[in-house]
Amino acid sequence: MHRLYQVLSYLAAPLVVLILLYKGLSNRAYWERFEERFGFGSSRLDRPGIWIHAVSVGEVIAASGVVRAFRRRYPNMPMVITTVTPTGAGRAAQLFGDDIVHSYAPYDTPGSVRRFFNRMQPRIAVIMETELWPNLFSECGRRGVPLVLANARISPRSLGRYLRFVGLFRQALSHGIVIAAQSDSDAERFRLLGASPERTHVTGNLKADMELPPEVVERGHAFRMAHAPQRPVWIAASTHGGEEEIVLAAHEQVRRTLPSALLVLVPRHPERFEAVAELIGKSGVSFQRRSANGVPGPGDSVYLVDTLGELPLFYAVADVAFVAGSLVPIGGHNLLEPAALAMPVLAGPHNFNSQDISALLEEAGALEIVQDADGLAKAVGTLLSDEALRRDRGERARRTLAESGGALERLMALIQPLLERPLG
């Protein structure tokens, strides 16, 4: 089956090129360093080092603690981080600067992967969350490069798709791969795909170990004091198509009882920024755009954050956080980021990307699940009107996060022996 996959990967390569070219029409960053996606490029490591792969922004943020841990323990070992999306590349540049090399990940053809390995000479590969690439995994096995799936997860929905090709993934997972799963459920799903039980471990969610830089929190508080000091503020974070309409309808209801309430709206994907701005404009409310250097004035009801990498800053601005991707069947986004700021957290019913974290926060009384615009409006209005309730829910969120920590240390304990053994 792996041989068939190799043939299909080459046949699909022209389609991948067309998709990237199409995406570049709305985001020119997809056209930059195009050759890296097929293993070419000028960036390289001058000696064997550490390779961390993080698809996009969320995985880059989760990887930040891993990068810092590697820096502390192996200060002389070079590092490369790969991403798939330009937004992930931008976030990596913000977080790590010139401390590490960045490259776009190679498309999973044998030639692209081989050229990437020749350029970067990875001593170890750490792949964040769920990226199952048979050719890449096979090349790690062929070269004797230890491969760790860190913060690994598989949703029940994804498992069904993977099981259709279980022979392919069973072979891909047979190259001595170490799996550091987020939860017992994730670990069991990997075993169902053929992962070795002896090399499948439960280390927890790395995002529970995250600490937002103090300067981000300070900047958020400064923004709030400068532009909305007396206003109740809530944030709708990482929204998708179909959710902005619900959020705006909920905000309209909130303002009937709290006329000065301000909504900070942060769409998930930059290619949708213009469409969301048009939607807000058609709703008839006054709003400002972050990308135009606008700031919310007293008459503005919505502040559209149509920039990249600023979600943590605006979590620090708000009183209540709604984490989107959950009112539509996307699977939800990072619930732990607002919890780290001791914020009360709201989400829709579709949280299958992080079922264990969702259940943990809900059981602790830190997360409230809402079903629609009416439920969201009621929950937001109640929390914005009751400071004591906000503090109680926020403290429950912070305490739950603290009790769930330790994933980074457990992950590094798995990685250390792999780095100390001879390559190959």
**Distance between CA atoms of residues 170 and 165, nearest Å:** 9
Helix H or strand E encompassing 320: strand 320-323
Non-local CB neighbours of 316 within 8 Å, separated by 6+ positions: 212, 216, 217, 219, 220, 221, 224, 341
Residue the block writes with tokens 């939800």: 332
CA distance 276 to 295: 17
∠ at Cα 357 (148, 88), nearest 5°? 55
Query: Biggest alpha carbon distance in the chain?
Result: 67
Structure tokens at 22: 């199409």
- 387 annotated active-site: no
What is the Cα–Cα distance from 95 to 30, expressed in whole angstroms? 20
Q: What does 101-169 look like in DSSP terms, one character per residue? A: EEEEPPPSSHHHHHHHHHHH-EEEEEEESS---HHHHHHHHHHT--EEEEEE---HHHHHHHHTTHHHH
CA dist 98 and 100 (Å) reads 5
Q: What is d(CA 306, CA 254) in angstroms, rounded to the nearest whole number?
A: 23
Q: 318, 372, 367: which is closest to 345 by C-alpha?
A: 367
Tokens of 287: 């709003």
Name the active-site residue from 32, 35, 36, 59. Answer: 59
Catalytic positions are 59
